Amino acid sequence: MEHEVKRLEEDLQKDIEKASDASDIEALRIKYLGRKSPLAELFSQIPSLSTEEKKIWGKNLNILKQKITTLIDEKLSGFEGKEEEIDLTFPSRPVERGSRHVISVVLQKICDIFAHLGFVVIEGPEIEDEWHNFTALNFPSDHPSRDAFDTFYLDLKEGKKGKQLLRCHTSPSQIRVMQKNKPPFAVISPGRVYRPDEVDATHSFMFHQVEGFAVGQDSNFAHLKGVLFYFARQFFSPDVSLRFRPHFFPFTEPSAEVDISCIICGQGKNKKKTTRCSVCKGKGWLEVLGCGMIHPNVLEACGIDSKKYQGFAFGMGIERMAMLKYGVSDIRLFCENDVKFLEQFNL
């Protein structure tokens, strides 16, 4: 037994010297301390020894075990401070990932902000009729927007609600919800809209809008302002300023256009004009959306008592919001789907 212990110690010494990294050491740990190790073999011989020998060898073998453990641990701790050095100045491995389209991202961001305030998202159809797209929205029957120059009409059978067309704004979704539901409600309605506009850097025959509206017994102009301030600060930046300019839309009264202080030069907010800014053309303000109190004629057209209920509505173009937020200068990029463009955005 003595002889065996000695050999074991010699072997271990040699093996430890040869070990060149942590994994070699782990292998030694198994070899010398594992269930099938020579040490285990020696321990297994103990029951067959005399009582006296049992005592001596039991002690000796435990000392040996301790010694092996210490030697292995010492060797290992020598390696631990000394990790393999990797040259990380080499280029990384490219990571393939997917992406959402910037328009769908911006659209969702906008809807999410309003959803936090309690708005519910409901979509309406893109193929509409004259009644929902114009008449119910208080457009007079001879309004220029109804002309074939401003609206795409379709080869679908004309029904009781007039000719079929491609909606030129998301406002008819508002009509559809109001017709079928009892106030109070607050709804946000996004989607594609179409207009016969010549395509250039800021126009397209197809683009996206979001329409929002709230109707209740006390929905008022101050609420409209509150909601839009909240939105603009969430969407653009917490320190953006807003201004409401009176405007005209057939379906709201009073109506307003909303400008934000230029996110590039900030001139509108600071009230001092120092630089010419190409984004706001030196005005300091950027028009972002249209809004107003829903015209009583619109409520009545949907069967809502305008003496009892009032509401506000607002609408904005998604492409324009995306262009302002991310500094995209040409609307045509959105539908070209160049990977170099797509990969720049993510939710």
Partner 1 sequence: MRFSLNFVKELLPLDVSAQELASRLTMAGMEVEFLARAGKDWVFDVEVTTNRYDWLSVVGITREIAACLHKKANIKYPKVVKRPILKERKVIIEDLKDCPLYIGRQIEDLKVKNSPAWLRERVFHCGIATINNVVDITNYCMLKWGNPLHAFDADKLEGNIYIRRAKKGEIFIGIDERERKLCRENLVIADDKKVIALAGVMGAKNSEVSENTKNVFLEAAIFSPLTVRRSRRAAGIDTESSYRFERKVHPDYLEYASVESSRLMQELGGGRFTGYAEAGKKPIIKSKKLTVDLKRFADYLGEEISSTQIKKILTNLDFEILKSQKDKISVLPSRFRFDFEDEVDVYEEIVRIYGYDRIAPCIPFLVPRDESSFSVSEPGFLYRFKNELRTFMASLGLREIITYSIEADQELANLGQKDFILLLNPLRAQENAMRTSLLLGMIKSIRNNLNRNQKDLRFFEIANIYSHQKESFIEKPVLAIGLSGQANTLFCLKGLVEEIFKYLNIEGMDLRPEPQAHLSNALGIYINSEKAGLLGKLDEKTKKDFDLKQDLLFAQLQVGVLKEKRKEIAYRSYSLYPAVSRDISIALRRDKKFAKIRAAVERKAGEFLVDMRIVDEYRGKDISSDYHAFTLRVFYQSKDRTLTSSEVDALHTGIREDLHTQEGIILR
Give the one residue of 255, 269, 314, 331 binding partner 1; rule: CB under 8 A: 255
What tokens appear for 314 in the block? 């607002």
Give the one residue of 29, 31, 75, 101 binding partner 1; rule: CB under 8 A: 101
Give the one residue of 5, 264, 328, 342 binding Zn ion; rule: CB under 5 A: 264
Residues in the chain: 347
**Binds 265: which of Zn ion, partner 1, none (CB < 5-8 Å by kind):** Zn ion
44-50 long-range contacts, CB within 8 A, separation 24+: 45/1
Considering the rule CB under 5 A, would residue 323 count as an interface residue with Zn ion?
A: no
Q: Which of 259, 285, 332, 262 is nearest to 103 (CA)?
A: 332
Give the one residue of 37, 171, 174, 219 binding partner 1; rule: CB under 8 A: 219
Whose tokens are 């020598």? That residue is: 78
Considering the rule CB under 8 A, would residue 238 count as an interface residue with partner 1?
A: no
Name the phi and psi angles at 60, rounded to 5. Answer: -55, -45
Considering the rule CB under 5 A, would residue 328 count as an interface residue with Zn ion?
A: no
Give the one residue of 62, 66, 220, 270 binding partner 1; rule: CB under 8 A: 220
**Binds 253: which of Zn ion, partner 1, none (CB < 5-8 Å by kind):** partner 1
Pick 262 or 313: Cβ nearer Zn ion: 262
Pick 284 or 311: Cβ nearer Zn ion: 284
Considering the rule CB under 5 A, would residue 277 count as an interface residue with Zn ion?
A: yes
Q: Which of 178, 181, 216 is nearest to 309 (CA)?
A: 216
What tokens appear for 169 in the block? 């704004």
The C-alpha angle with vertex 128 and arms to 123 and 133, in degrees rounded to 5, equals: 90
Q: DSSP state, 273?
A: -
Pick 71 or 322: Cβ nearer partner 1: 322
Q: Which amino acid is at 338?
A: D
d(CA 285, CA 326): 17
Q: Which of 181, 169, 179, 166 is nearest to 120 (CA)?
A: 181
- Whether a cis peptide bond, with omega within 30° of 0, leads into 184 is yes
Helix (H) or strand (E) holding 77: helix 51-80
Indicate the pairing of strand 185-194 with strand 120-121: parallel
**CB of residue 40 vs partner 1: minimum separation in angstroms?**
26
Give the one residue of 262, 293, 302, 333 binding Zn ion; rule: CB under 5 A: 262
Per-residue binding letters, 220-259, with Zn ion (x by CB under 5 A): ----------------------------------------
Give the one residue of 120, 200, 237, 270 binding partner 1; rule: CB under 8 A: 120
Considering the rule CB under 8 A, would residue 328 count as an interface residue with partner 1?
A: no
Footprint on this chain of Zn ion (rule: CB under 5 A): 262, 264-265, 277, 279-280
